[in-house]
Amino acid sequence: MLRSAKKLTIFLVIIMVIITMVLSMTSCKSKMQTSTGLGGNTGSKEKVYKVAILLPGSVNDGGWSASAYEGLVKIEKELGCKTAFTENVKKNDQVQIMREYAKKGFDIIIGHGFEFSDALKQVSQEYPNIKFVGIGTMVTGPNLASLQFKYGELGYLTGFIAAKSTHTNKIGIITATKDPTGQIEFDTLEAIAKQVNPNVAVAISYTGSWEDIYKAKEAAIAQIGNGADVIITNNDAGNLGVIQAAKEKGVFVIGWTGDYYKHAPDNVLTSAVQKVSLLIFEGVKGFLEKGFEGKVYQLGLKEGVQYIGEYGNTVLQELKDEVKKITKDIIEGKINIEEIYKVKK
């Protein structure tokens, strides 16, 4: 009796392991997309490039990782590359997954986010013939480049909009963790908001998690309780929780990364849209057409990879026009944003 129970245990454990493996393969491991990927307009003999990307979150987070996935689809469709991606990559799996892609003969391997910096540096040295790219990173090497959004541009514009829209003179920011790129945006935002309206106070709440929507909502409620009536949320999935809180409590909110207008047209002022999809697409396109350089590429308003999104129903035409003018000035170089955040440092 006891023996057969033991056999049954082993059998069931094996079944469970298999189920788990299959599920994790379909959900978080590489979904190899075996499209034919021959660019229609180019000759069929041309080499088909293989591009892989490692995502820190899931492809349906509606923000950072979803946008990268979009870019990858665009690369596959328009550049005729073969693509693959891995979702929900944990810090200690980064190196291993990159090596796997390198061994499988991928030409370009992309680490999507600042947290991939170390892994990119390490693995790029092991495979000198493969091009490595970090998104939002600062690392470079002979075969390692970084693609970045031009710092401060969106912080400048959202700071202006927020300061013009607040009645209580309190602006709240909600984000997950403190990282250098985000910090530059928020420093710029605060500096501009204070320039527009010296009485404005800006407070930042860190939730410590990009996926804990429940906590992001509570953080927003805390900000609103403190009197903030404009909240800027750069919290990936957490943005949804913040927007929900804004809707319930009747305050304004500015989304980040995605365009959040449709989620709450009366509460969303606008969104600081960062088209990660375009950043990656334009970046990879550049590598294939103009060649690869081991440097930091900065793309911004000028290249159209980031911009101010759809405006909410309550935003006046006057403000929209002002923002339009500032955007033009930034693109033409009349406003030097670097000076603003450097001073703050």
Partner 1 sequence: MIDILLAILNISFLQAIVNMSTPLLLAAIGDIYSERAGVLNIGLEGMMLIGAFSSFVISYHFNNPYMALIVTIIIGFGLGIFHAFFTVTLKADQVITALGENILALGLTSTLYRIIIGVTEIQPECPGLPVLYIPVINRIPVVGDIMSGSNILVYIAFLMPIITYIIFEYTSFGLSIKAVGENPKAADSLGINVNVIRYIAVIISGIFAALGGASLTIGGLKYFFDNMTAGRGFIAFAAVIFGRYTPLGVFVGTLLFGVSDAFQLRLQTLGIQLPYHIFTSIPYIVTLLVMIFSRQTSFSPKALGKAYVRSS
291 touches partner 1 (CB under 8 A): no
Residue among 74, 82, 131, 217 that touches partner 1 (CB under 8 A): 217
Residue among 93, 100, 212, 310 that touches partner 1 (CB under 8 A): 212
209 touches partner 1 (CB under 8 A): yes
Residue among 42, 60, 125, 314 that touches partner 1 (CB under 8 A): 60
For tokens 């049954």, what's the residue?
A: 8
Residue among 263, 282, 315, 330 that touches partner 1 (CB under 8 A): 263
**Structure letter (DSSP) for residue 211:** S
268 touches partner 1 (CB under 8 A): no
Q: Which of 234, 213, 227 is nearest to 155 (CA)?
A: 234
Calculate Rg over the CA atoms of the chain: 22
Maximum Cα interatomic distance, the chain, rounded to a whole number of Å: 84
32 touches partner 1 (CB under 8 A): no
211 touches partner 1 (CB under 8 A): yes
205 touches partner 1 (CB under 8 A): yes
73 touches partner 1 (CB under 8 A): no
Considering only the stretches 108-116, 119-127, 233-241, 290-298, report the one whose residues sit in contact with partner 1 under the rule CB under 8 A: 233-241
274 touches partner 1 (CB under 8 A): no
What is the residue-wise DSSP string for 230-296?
Answer: EEEEE-TTHHHHHHHHHHHHT-EEEEEES--GGG-TTTEEEEEEE-HHHHHHHHHHHHHHH---SSE
Question: CB of 255: closest distance to partner 1 in angstroms?
Answer: 12
Residue among 135, 202, 230, 308 that touches partner 1 (CB under 8 A): 202
Q: Which of 137, 194, 200 is nearest to 166 (CA)?
A: 200
136 touches partner 1 (CB under 8 A): no
Residue among 80, 111, 241, 283 that touches partner 1 (CB under 8 A): 241
Residue 4 exposed, middle or buried by CB count within 10 Å (0-12, 13-18, 19+): exposed
Question: CB of 344: closest distance to partner 1 in angstroms?
Answer: 14
198 touches partner 1 (CB under 8 A): no
131 touches partner 1 (CB under 8 A): no
3-class DSSP state of 154: helix
Question: Which residue, 24 or 314, is less far from partner 1 as judged by CB?
Answer: 24
Identity of the residue numbered 318: E
Strand partners, 257: 273
CA 248, CA 226: separation in Å to the nearest integer?
16
58 touches partner 1 (CB under 8 A): yes
Nearby residues of 291 by Cβ (< 8 Å), 6 or more positions away: none
Identity of the residue numbered 59: V
Considering only the stretches 156-164, 218-226, 313-321, 322-330, report the one whose residues sit in contact with partner 1 under the rule CB under 8 A: 218-226
- Which residues in 158-197 contact partner 1 (CB under 8 A)? 172, 178
Phi, psi (rounded to 5 degrees) for 170: -125, 125
215 touches partner 1 (CB under 8 A): yes
**Structure letter (DSSP) for residue 33:** B
Residue among 117, 140, 223, 274 that touches partner 1 (CB under 8 A): 223
Helix then strand count (H, E) for the chain reads 11, 12
Residue 339, CA distances (Å) to 110, 192, 281, 298, 334 in order: 31, 12, 29, 17, 12
- Which residues in 243-262 contact partner 1 (CB under 8 A)? 244, 262
- Residues within the interface to partner 1 (CB under 8 A): 2, 5, 8-9, 12-13, 16-17, 19-20, 23-24, 26-28, 57-62, 66, 88, 172, 178, 201-209, 211-215, 217-219, 221-223, 225-226, 228, 237, 240-241, 244, 262-263
